[in-house]
Amino acid sequence: MVVKIQREDFNISDELELLNLEKNNSGGCVTFLGKVRSKNNNFIVKSLEIEHYPIMTQKQLESIESQAFKKWQLNSSLIIHRYGKLLPGDNIVLVITTSTYRQSSFKANEFIVEQLKTRATFWKLEETLNKKYWLKPEQTLNN
């Protein structure tokens, strides 16, 4: 189980290699990549600034990941969530789940992504061509 909250970008291939799928008997590996959209709520997005409370957010992500391990038979998992000022097309979040069989990986990955949207404390300031505004949780839930 790995949780990283970081400013810098990540490389999916490097992260997959670190999980060492060959050695942990994973036949199923599901990857979710979340990116900054160029358009949101009918506005052209210039940037998205993500803030968080480090200690609390880290604990929340670790708790979400731990719950996934209790619900499904996972071999490994990784959650990376970025913060700071991001531009359209930039990576925001990476969730990787691995298991011996694919079903557990799919279900656990979806669970983690949904929990990130509803339980993780991240504040998002969106800048459009016309204004800046804080996104409310319901504005990002189905995105």
End-to-end alpha-carbon separation of the chain, Å?
Answer: 25
Between 141 and 69, residue with greater pLDDT: 69
C-alpha 49/C-alpha 126 separation (Å) is 6
List, for residues 20-29, the tens digit of each pLDDT value.
Answer: 766 778 889 9
Higher pLDDT, 26 or 80: 80
* pLDDT (average), residues 34-57: 95
Question: Confidence class of residue 139 from pLDDT cuts 50, 70 and 90?
Answer: low
- As a whole-number percent, the residues of the chain with pLDDT over 90 amount to 80
Residue ranges of domains in the chain, CATH in brackets:
2-137 (3.90.1170.40)
Burial class (CB in 10 A: 0-12, 13-18, 19+), 16: middle
Residues 6 or more apart in contact with residue 17 via CB below 8 angstroms: none
Which residue stretches of the chain are H helix? 12-19, 54-71, 102-119, 137-140
Could you tell me which of 60, 62, 74 has the C-alpha nearest to residue 109?
74
The pLDDT assigned to 19 comes to 83
* Whether 77 contacts 15, CB under 8 Å: no
- Provide the percentage of residues in the chain whose pLDDT is more than 70: 94
Q: Are 77 and 97 in contact (CB under 8 A)?
A: yes
pLDDT (0 to 100) of residue 23: 74
The average confidence (pLDDT) of the chain is 92
Q: What pLDDT does residue 75 have?
A: 94
Give tens-digit pLDDT for 90-99.
999 999 999 9
